[in-house]
C-alpha cells in the first residue's frame, strides 16, 4: 500500500528549453531541459509505466521504438507504446505520426540514408488538449513549440531515422527492423465516461484519462499502479498540497483528494486494457471510507458552502 509524491528528474536535451514555466522548477542557467521524468522517491523502477513531461524548442529526431516482439528478441523486457497529451502548442506547432504511404524495407532504408524520410512521414498541426496514441513500431516526431505529457511503457530504447542536422548517430538497421511500414490507422477519439471522466487512450499497456474535478472531497482507488499528474489547479492529496506540474504515484491504496473551490484537472494513467471504476465523490464528512485524520478537516470544508456537495451531485 503506497501513496508517494513522485520526484521530478530533469533530463537535458538539445531540443529542450531553459524555461519550463509552471511545469517544473526553472532549469539551471544555460541548460536546455527536454524531458522531466517522474519517478518513485526511493528510485525504484519496478513500475510498468513511465510518466514524463516534454518541452520542445526544436524538433525531436524522427524515431521509432520496438514492439514487444522485437524487444524480446533483443533481450529487452518490453517495447514502447506511448501516448501524448498536448498541454500547450505554438500556433505553427506540428507532429509527425506514421508514413504517408506504405513503404518496403528497401524504400525505408533508402529514405533514411538520403534524408527524404522527413518528407515521407505524415506531419500534422496540433492544439492544446489533443491526445495522440503512438503504437510501438510507428515512426514519429515532435516538432518545436510544444509542451506535452507522455505516458509510456517503461523503456528507453529509441532508434533515430533523422536528426535535423544534429549529427547524432542514426540507427538504420534497427529502425528498419522496428518500423511497421504502413500508414497508421485513424486515432480513436476520446471516450466520455461521465461528467468528470474522459478516457483519452486505452490499449493493452495502459489507460490514460483526463478527470475534471469540482470542489469537494474525492476518493481514488489505486490498483497495482496509478500515476496522477496535476495539469490545472491546486488540491490536497493525503493532506499534502499539490499544484500544477506535481505528480503522485499510488499502489494498492485509497488516495484522498481535497479539491479547492476553483477545481482541478488531472491526468491519470494505470495498466490497461480497460478503464475501471476507481473514483467517487465523498458526500459526507462522516463517510466511513475517510481516514480518521481527515474527519475534522472535512467537516470544516463541508461547512464552507463553496465546497459542500450539491444535492444533484452523484458519485462517479
Predicted local confidence at residue 314, as pLDDT: 37
| CA torsion angle 210 215 217 218 (round to 10) | -10
- The three cell numbers of residue 257 are 483528494
Q: What is the DSSP string of 146-213?
A: EEEEEEEES----EEEE-TT--PPP-HHHHHHH---SPPPPPPPPEE-SSSEEEEEE-SS-EEEEEEE
Predicted local confidence at residue 308, as pLDDT: 46
Taking only the tens of pLDDT, the chain with its 316 residues reads 799 999 999 999 999 998 888 886 655 567 899 999 999 998 777 899 999 999 999 999 999 999 999 999 999 999 999 999 999 999 999 999 999 999 999 999 999 999 999 999 999 999 999 999 999 999 999 999 999 999 999 999 999 999 999 999 999 999 999 999 888 888 889 999 888 899 999 999 999 999 999 998 898 889 989 999 999 999 999 888 999 999 999 998 889 899 988 999 999 999 999 998 777 777 554 444 445 544 544 554 445 544 444 444 433 3
Where helices occur in 91-168 by DSSP H, the ranges are 105-114, 117-120
- The three cell numbers of residue 226 are 496509478
Q: In what order do the strands lie in the sheet with 62-64?
A: 121-125, 94-99, 140-142, 62-64, 159-162
- For 297, the 3-state DSSP assignment is helix
pTM of the entire predicted model: 0.89
Predicted local confidence at residue 7, as pLDDT: 94
**Rounded Cα gap, residues 180 and 104, in angstroms:** 10
* CATH superfamily, with its number, for domain 192-303: Jelly Rolls (2.60.120.10)
Predicted local confidence at residue 309, as pLDDT: 46
Predicted local confidence at residue 27, as pLDDT: 59
Do 23 and 147 meet the contact criterion of CB atoms below 8 Å apart? Answer: yes
Predicted local confidence at residue 9, as pLDDT: 92
Predicted local confidence at residue 213, as pLDDT: 94
What kind of fold does domain 7-178 have according to CATH? Jelly Rolls (2.60.120)
Do 137 and 184 meet the contact criterion of CB atoms below 8 Å apart? Answer: no
Predicted local confidence at residue 278, as pLDDT: 75
The answer to whether 7-178 and 192-303 have equal CATH topology is yes
Predicted local confidence at residue 182, as pLDDT: 83
Give the angle 115-117-152 at the CA atoms, nearest 5°.
120
Domain boundaries, the chain: 7-178, 192-303
Amino acid at each position: 500500500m503506497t501513496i508517494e509524491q513522485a520526484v521530478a528528474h530533469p533530463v537535458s536535451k538539445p531540443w529542450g528549453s531553459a524555461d519550463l514555466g509552471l511545469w517544473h522548477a526553472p532549469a539551471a542557467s544555460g541548460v536546455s531541459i527536454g524531458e522531466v521524468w517522474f519517478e518513485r522517491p526511493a528510485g525504484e523502477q519496478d513500475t510498468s509505466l513511465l510518466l514524463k513531461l516534454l518541452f520542445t524548442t526544436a524538433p525531436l529526431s524522427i524515431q521509432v521504438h520496438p514492439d514487444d516482439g522485437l524487444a524480446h528478441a533483443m533481450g529487452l523486457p518490453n517495447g514502447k507504446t506511448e501516448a501524448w497529451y498536448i498541454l500547450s502548442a505554438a500556433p505553427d506547432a506540428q507532429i509527425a505520426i506514421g508514413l504517408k504511404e506504405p513503404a518496403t524495407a528497401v524504400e525505408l532504408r533508402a529514405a533514411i540514408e538520403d534524408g527524404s524520410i522527413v518528407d515521407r512521414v505524415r506531419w500534422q498541426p496540433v492544439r492544446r488538449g489533443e491526445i495522440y496514441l503512438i503504437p510501438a513500431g510507428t515512426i514519429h516526431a515532435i516538432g518545436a513549440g510544444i509542451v506535452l505529457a507522455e505516458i509510456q511503457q517503461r523503456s528507453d530504447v529509441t532508434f533515430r531515422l533523422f536528426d535535423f542536422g544534429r549529427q547524432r548517430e542514426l540507427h538504420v538497421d534497427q529502425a528498419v527492423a522496428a518500423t511497421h511500414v504502413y500508414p497508421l490507422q485513424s486515432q480513436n477519439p476520446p471516450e466520455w465516461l461521465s461528467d468528470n471522466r474522459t478516457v483519452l487512450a486505452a490499449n493493452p499497456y495502459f489507460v490514460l484519462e483526463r478527470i475534471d474535478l469540482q470542489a469537494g472531497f474525492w476518493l481514488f482507488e489505486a490498483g497495482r499502479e496509478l500515476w496522477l499528474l496535476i495539469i490545472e489547479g491546486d488540491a490536497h492529496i493525503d493532506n499534502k498540497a499539490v499544484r500544477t506540474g506535481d505528480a503522485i504515484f499510488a499502489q494498492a491504496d485509497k488516495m484522498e483528494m481535497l479539491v479547492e473551490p476553483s477545481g482541478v484537472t488531472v491526468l491519470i494513467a494505470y495498466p490497461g486494457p480497460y478503464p475501471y471504476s476507481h473514483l467517487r465523490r465523498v458526500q459526507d464528512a462522516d463517510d466511513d471510507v475517510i481516514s480518521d485524520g481527515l474527519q475534522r478537516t472535512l467537516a470544516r470544508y463541508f461547512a464552507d458552502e463553496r465546497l459542500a456537495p450539491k444535492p444533484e451531485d452523484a458519485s462517479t
